[in-house]
Amino acid sequence: MIPKIIHQTWKSSHLPEKFQAYQKTWIMYHPQWEYRFYDDAACRALVQLEFPDWLALYDSCPYPVQRADIFRYLVIASNGGIYADIDMECYKNMEPLLAGKECVFGVETILSPRQTRLLNHQYAERIANCIFAAQKNHPVFNRIMNEVSQRLAEKPAGILETTGPGMLTDVVQKYRKQYDVHILPQINWLPPISADYPNCFPFNLRMYAKHHFAGTWKNENMEAPRLRRRLSGNRPLTLLKNIAKFFYLFFNIRGLYYKILSSPVWKGNLYFRRKNTSQKKGNDAVERMPDHPI
């Protein structure tokens, strides 16, 4: 049984206003749950107290987001409950979604065959680490931490592949059957489609939380900004950048084809549209039918 505890973190106790609003939604929809908030100092203190063997690895991480990733795995391993990024907004009580389950992760996205090949990934169904839940001492977290340790030792490696969704996907997909890990579809934890009228899309009504993808951690990795600054003064690269943008857009649109085939989000939307379109055509046919004398 997953304990009724919600865990969230931020670098300090002073949350930006929008994050305060998201934080309140978790408390509002879970009045019977215990809510725990950790700043960076509290995160390190918990690792030092409950996982002293992992403290050296935690401190050695070059980027704060890697330490945040490690903390979220360890805090659920030691306490159980649900972890959610601070930029996630809760829409409903999570109990129906977690009932009868020991460990729950969710799909972040579904890669096209080309994306899977280019990223050298074994699995097209990518697992999110922005929100997950488990009972205390669930064995999959031992596997996760061992994999984190191994990947951090094999430098250099990107953040996503050492402590983030890339690493998590490999571990969870590999051991999901052995450890009875339940994987929820995208539909439960992704932003609703159509911001103006989200309830026009029936599958949005199945949303339990929305990830706003603030991406604050990306500013901590200074390698990409430094590279962009070096390239920005080189005007001949403008054409190449435009070409790159074109292909980026092309392959993203092409990738939607694979999402439509495999994702319940897109399937639900298409079914909804087909159903309404066929009904509209039927109504139009009735309206156009000429009157016949009896």
- Three-state secondary structure along 124-171? CEEECCCEEEECCCCCHHHHHHHHHHHHHHCCCCCHHHHCCHHHHHHH
Examine residue 243 and state whether it is found in any structural domain, yes or no.
no
Q: Which two tokens stand for residue 294?
A: 């009896």
pLDDT value, residue 195: 52
Query: Which residue range is the domain that position 86 belongs to?
Result: 5-221
Examine residue 275 and state whether it is found in any structural domain, yes or no.
no
Examine residue 162 and state whether it is found in any structural domain, yes or no.
yes
Domain count, the chain: 1
Examine residue 271 and state whether it is found in any structural domain, yes or no.
no
Examine residue 267 and state whether it is found in any structural domain, yes or no.
no
pLDDT value, residue 222: 47
Q: How many CB atoms lie within 10 A of CB 130?
A: 20
Residue 121 carries which DSSP code? -
Among residues 82, 53, 75, 77, the alpha carbon closest in space to that of 140 is found at: 77
More confident call, 205 vs 25: 25
pLDDT value, residue 283: 55
| pLDDT tier for residue 271 given thresholds of 50, 70 and 90 | low
More confident call, 53 vs 187: 53
More confident call, 131 vs 185: 131
Q: What is the mean pLDDT of the chain?
A: 81
Over residues 101-106, mean pLDDT: 96
pLDDT value, residue 284: 53
| pLDDT tier for residue 266 given thresholds of 50, 70 and 90 | low
Residue 186 carries which DSSP code? G
The CATH number linked to 172 is 3.90.550
| pLDDT tier for residue 278 given thresholds of 50, 70 and 90 | low
| pLDDT tier for residue 142 given thresholds of 50, 70 and 90 | very high
Among residues 263, 255, 134, 250, the alpha carbon closest in space to that of 190 is found at: 263
Examine residue 159 and state whether it is found in any structural domain, yes or no.
yes
Range from 31-35, 101-105, 184-188 carrying the lowest mean pLDDT? 184-188
| pLDDT tier for residue 121 given thresholds of 50, 70 and 90 | confident
pLDDT value, residue 234: 53
Cα separation, 120 vs 113, in Å, equals 10
Range from 31-35, 41-45, 203-207 carrying the lowest mean pLDDT? 203-207
Cα separation, 180 vs 138, in Å, equals 10
Q: Is the pLDDT of residue 224 over 90?
A: no
Examine residue 39 and state whether it is found in any structural domain, yes or no.
yes
pLDDT value, residue 27: 98
More confident call, 185 vs 157: 185
Range from 31-35, 104-108, 139-143 carrying the lowest mean pLDDT? 104-108
pLDDT value, residue 117: 84
- Taking the alpha carbons at both ends of the chain, their separation in whole angstroms is 70
CB burial of residue 199 (10 Å; 0-12, 13-18, 19+):
exposed
In the chain, % of residues over pLDDT 70: 67
Q: Is the pLDDT of residue 61 over 60?
A: yes
| pLDDT tier for residue 293 given thresholds of 50, 70 and 90 | very low
Contact by Cβ (8 Å): 136, 78: yes
- At position 99, the amino acid (one-letter code) is A
pLDDT value, residue 270: 54
Q: Is the pLDDT of residue 179 over 90?
A: yes
HSE, CB side, 13 Å, CA atoms: give it for residue 199: 1
Among residues 227, 195, 236, 190, the alpha carbon closest in space to that of 210 is found at: 190
Range from 8-22, 49-63, 230-244 carrying the lowest mean pLDDT? 230-244
Find tokens 């939604």 and name the residue.
25
Q: How many CB atoms lie within 10 A of CB 109?
A: 17
pLDDT value, residue 226: 44
Q: How many CB atoms lie within 10 A of CB 94?
A: 24
Contact by Cβ (8 Å): 193, 260: no
Contact by Cβ (8 Å): 87, 68: no
Q: Is the pLDDT of residue 291 over 50?
A: no
Contact by Cβ (8 Å): 110, 124: yes
Examine residue 123 and state whether it is found in any structural domain, yes or no.
yes
Q: How many CB atoms lie within 10 A of CB 276?
A: 11
